[in-house]
């Protein structure tokens, strides 16, 4: 179907609040990735799902970050007790196959601002 979609597009949170960011991947895509992009930097990997299985979460910066993809399609990235350093654009990407080196298609991102 259509491309990767993310919601909300913009989120402002007060420090200490919890936030939930949603990603709808391209229908049928097996792999789903979350990246964090700070201002003026390239995206940095957070976590990877193959269907519903979270196979790599090595990039999550702290235990305040949690991601899930319970039915192997939509994914949610949750950040608990937000801090100012969490302010960034959170990008979701999906690819058709599992594992390495398949073209990744990115969503427009969610810009999170923590005050």
Residue 68 as a binder of other proteins (CB under 8 A): the answer is no
Residue 51 as a binder of other proteins (CB under 8 A): the answer is no
Q: Measured between alpha carbons, how far is 64 from 9 in angstroms, rounded to an integer? A: 21
Of 8, 16, 61, 99, the residue at the interface with other proteins (CB under 8 A) is 99
Is 26 in a helix, a strand, or coil? coil
**Contact region for other proteins (CB under 8 A) — 12-20, 70-78, 79-87, 88-96?**
88-96
Q: Measured between alpha carbons, how far is 115 from 113 in angstroms, rounded to an integer? A: 6
Instruction: Write out the residues near other proteins by the rule CB under 8 A.
Output: 4, 31, 33, 35, 40-45, 48, 50, 55-56, 59, 91, 93, 95, 98-109, 111
């Amino acid at each position: 179907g259509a491309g990767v979609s993310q919601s909300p597009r913009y989120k402002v949170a007060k420090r200490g609040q919890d936030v939930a960011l949603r990603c709808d991947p391209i229908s049928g895509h097996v792999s789903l990735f979350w990246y964090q992009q700070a201002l003026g930097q390239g995206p940095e990997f957070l976590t990877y799902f193959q269907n519903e299985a979270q196979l790599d979460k090595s990039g999550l910066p702290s235990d305040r970050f949690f991601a899930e993809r319970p039915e192997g399609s939509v994914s949610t990235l949750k950040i608990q007790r937000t801090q100012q350093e969490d302010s960034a654009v959170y990008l979701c990407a999906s690819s058709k196959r599992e594992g390495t080196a398949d073209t990744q298609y990115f969503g427009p991102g969610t810009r999170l601002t923590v005050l």
